[in-house]
Amino acid sequence: MTIDKDVIKIISNARSVVFFTGAGISAESGIPTFRGKDGIWNKLRPEELANFDAFMRNPKLVWEWYKHRMEIVHKSEPNAGHLAIAEMQNMFDKVTVVTQNIDNLHIRAGSKTVYELHGNIERNYCVKCKQFFNKDFDISKGAPMCKCGGLIRPDVVWFGEYLPEDQFTAGDNAARQCDLFFIVGTSGVVYPAASLIFTAKNNGATLIEINIEPTEVCSSVNYSLYGKSGSILPELIKLIKDFRDNKD
Ligand code: BJW
Ligand code: ZN
């Protein structure tokens, strides 16, 4: 795709940049998205898997689903999109990643400031005493149990649950303070995460969406770049470098 020169100028002159990311950025690493054509929720019902009542009703089923997804995550590698975002840390005064993903791929790609709004699949905690665990549990005999007798669950945010306050507050502050806010590979339908888009907009940031198709929020953004994030983000790096080189 050709990217408008005006867009490259705005990006190149930005100082504080936020990348707000969703499942689409990890699609090219082989991790399925939730919604859309190949989304996992075309086959599985979120209300049976992604809420606390479903977990308490059938913890083994929910664990099997997470174990399966953990295996996919463990086999996957950061893709060109994650790596481009990490590289952009050297190109702007401040780069913050605010992600809805639980797959750790931004951190593995080298991004330093990453706020995880929906938790992290590598961590687990006891629903009773809240102790954290970072180990691979054997679930062949059922969901893992804590010494205190409580069930251990993945440290992810299910529907109806509050987001980790420190992560959301940090993401919200970054959205308020940035001058450029990228929305990458998210359908923008899940709240309160998606509210950060409007926080950034109301505080004067330019919004640029990168997605393979129009989304719920595309009418609110300044620019939409359509294509795979693993292609567009590396292309942006090249265009920013060219712009800055030709300016002097
Ligand atoms: C590419 C690409 C490529 C593909 N390149 N792009 C109204 C009705 C009912 C409920 C609500 C309501 N309004 C708000 C709510 C509450 C609810 C909510 O938002 N529901 C809406 C869905 C309706 N929110 C909550 O419940 C949240 N908590 C909350 O509100 O707390 C307050 C409260 C507390 C107590 C009582 C009541 C309220 C919590 C939300 C938690 C979301 N959790 C999940 C699961 C995480 C764990 C796990 O992974 O298992 O988070 S749901 C799922 O959606 C996951 C994601 O992070 C999240 C967002 O999805 P995302 O990332 O946008 O992915 P997709 O698949 O939707 O989109 C992918 C995009 O990529 C697409 O656009 C593609 O086109 C694109 N793409 N390939 C570029 N190569
Ligand atoms: Zn416990």
pLDDT at site 226: 97
Which letter does DSSP use for residue 41 in this model?
G
Contact status, residue 165 vs residue 82, Cβ threshold 8 Å: no
Indicate if 58 and 176 belong to the same structural domain. Answer: no
216 lines ligand 1 (CB under 6 A): no
- Domain extent for 233: 1-31+78-118+163-248
Phi, psi values for residue 62, rounded to 5°: -65, -40
Decide whether any atom of ligand 1 lies within 6 Å of the 68 Cβ.
Answer: no
Which residue's CA lies nearest to atom 15 of ligand 1? 191
Q: Which atom of ligand 1 is found nearest the CA of 215?
A: 73
| Residue 188 and residue 232 in one domain | yes
Residues 247 and 232 in one domain: yes
* pLDDT (0 to 100) of residue 1: 76
Same structural domain, 85 and 182: yes
* Torsion angle (degrees, nearest 10) of CA 161, 167, 172, 177: -170
Nearest ligand to the CA of 126 is 2
**Nearest residue (CA) to ligand 1, atom 48:** 156
For residue 160, give every residue at least 6 positions away whose Cβ sits within 8 Å of its Cβ, in sequence order, or none.
Answer: 51, 52
Residues of the chain with pLDDT under 70: 248
State whether 213 and 109 are in the same domain. Answer: yes
Record the tokens describing residue 5, joined without a space: 């020169």
Q: Give the containing element (helix H, strand E) for 226.
A: strand 223-226
* CATH classification at residue 62: 3.30.1600.10
d(CA 208, CA 226): 11
One-letter identity of residue 184: V
From the CB of 156, is ligand 1 less than 6 Å away?
A: yes
19 conformational bin, left if phi > 0, alpha if psi -120 to 50, beta if neither: beta
Q: How far is the CA of 129 from the centre of ligand 2 (A)?
A: 4
Residue 100 alpha carbon, nearest atom of ligand 1: 57
Answer yes or no: do 71 and 95 share one domain: no
Clarify whether residues 232 and 128 are in a common domain.
no
Establish whether residue 120 lines the binding site of ligand 1, counting it when its CB lies within 6 angstroms of any ligand atom. no
Question: Would you call 118 a catalytic residue per the annotation?
Answer: yes
pTM over 0.95: yes
Q: Is 228 in the pocket of ligand 1 (CB under 6 A)?
A: yes
Distance from the CA of 121 to the center of ligand 1, in angstroms?
16
pLDDT of residue 125: 98
Domain boundary residue, one of 97, 131, 156: 156
Q: Which residues surround ligand 2, an ion (CB under 5 A)?
A: 126, 128-129, 146, 148, 150
Q: Considering every ligand atom shown, identify the ligand nearest to the alpha carbon of residue 152 and give its number.
A: 2
Is the C-beta atom of 189 inside 6 A of ligand 1?
yes
Q: Name the domain boundary from 139, 156, 173.
A: 156
Same domain? For 90 and 168 the reply is yes
pLDDT at 15: 98
Q: What's the domain count of the chain?
A: 2
